[in-house]
Structure 1
């Protein structure tokens, strides 16, 4: 109910503002182009009284020009009409001569209003008496109409008409409000029963709630147009009842008709472009609606295309969407109203310059992001290492790639930087090559420790770790024989299913647990772990001191 009331109020004030602005608009209207040069029959200065043209004066009389004669005639008509004590029927034609020039004078109560000469009659192609009779009838009719409009009875009739018209308007608004209230209630009820989605085959083109919203919107627009139409009819009818607002009514109707005519001509001229825009927009919308579920199913693995990976589906959909919209924009843009105007072109050039100056890095990142997607360097969820940055990929866009580090920090790396860096993907070999991921760590043990004993301790530490693959078994490699210690590399195959949903933090915890196990097992086996930078003589710490050879080659 409140929404309907708002529509009524908005419609009233919109129409009221339009009506009140009409005199200002009319005063500022551009003058119409000059009419063709009048013929002899059409030449002359018109006598306008009470906004009606009575006749024209074409000839001079004595020392008075046609313009001066018209001013005098108009002033005398107004004086006679305003004096209600002067009856209209007292107006008559009197024939007389001035300096032997025959004249016909329209007079009343000794007030000469119009003087007609033979030259006036000749210019009008009438006899002088006949022309005087025509002028007399027009003057009587104009004065009678002038007084009738300003009579008390006419004003009372205008007030009564205004009251009746206003009551009819209010009743009409009340009826319209009730009718549309019931329509909205019916549409709301139909939303759950009668209104069904629009399908093309098995594809849902428009959902039921969308169709319901469209119908409600169309109904609201129709209601608003009806209300505005009532006010458009109401105000001119009221204005036409009173002589001081009759001009507004004429200007209002002329403005309405002129606006409708101008709008219709513009619409007719623009209709081919409009149909092209609607056609292009419709085709674009249908293509995008059909392509979205297609690529969604492709990304879910519902079906496969040769040499097309599921992770390419959504990026490909975005690229195709961008290209289709760009193509549609290129087609539609020149068809928009005012496209060829200097202002429109100036704004387009300005925006183009801004885009060109500010889009260099954006274009580089978009191109790099596209290359990374289609080279399949990584996917969302993969733990990767880019230079010295390690984390799990949580989002890939055309501009940046975001990593979640083991310390729950999010790093946004521009794609243009990633494309020039080395990328270590810890999941690629597992997912694509079916080779389990290996957790590797380096341990430095002294020469006095038999390598078999070292192997046993390191293997025991590996088997205690959670997520170790049953097959293949962990293995140890001897990397370098340094001056005072041997470099051992412990390699542990992890269970692919165990680490399927693990994060980068879980991988760090797994590596930490492996180090804990190594320290425990080496301590239990009485094996001393060296630091990488240790350079002291280890012979003082073990039973092999007597046979240990120093780097210089001399025995202790």
Structure 2
């Protein structure tokens, strides 16, 4: 009976060791150091790729921010075509640029961290930048056209309303009519002793002329503002 119990315990220990060993190996493997999370490079809030390696004294975050600013400047400058993107090998890195501007450099360390060759990672970055900038420009072109159309409609409505209000509230004709009605009552002549410098008629006509001039100036200002706005 004792031998049977000992045999049972021995078998249990063997089975336990077989089951526990893989678990320990897995836990040890999972605790191995992982590559740093890095900093994401974005364009207009959209993620492009992640920078994991620092550059000299710049942290991954600072490096990602610099790359973001360069790509954004390239995207905003429509004088630099999409096809002007280029790459250039220098020692252990590959430069990616547009026109005469450098956007990013891809080093062997960058590629090693993501398990790719330097050339493969550069090709991926290049295509990502190209697609993102193209979409960025297209979205802003469409948005600009829509906003321009809205501005034109609003400006036209404002112009029509200004003209209607100007006429509805009397405008120059009613002012002129009122001036004529006051020609010999509230509008006196200007005299120095017995010498008449300006008669009431002349003053009234001058006021009517000034009203017409002001009306023309206002109309020109409205038209100028309209065409400038549109």
**TM-score for the superposition, normalised by structure 1:** 0.20
- Structure with higher RCO (Cα < 8 A, 6+ apart): 2
Q: Which has the larger radius of gyration?
A: 1
More helix by share: 2
**TM-score for the superposition, normalised by structure 2:** 0.47
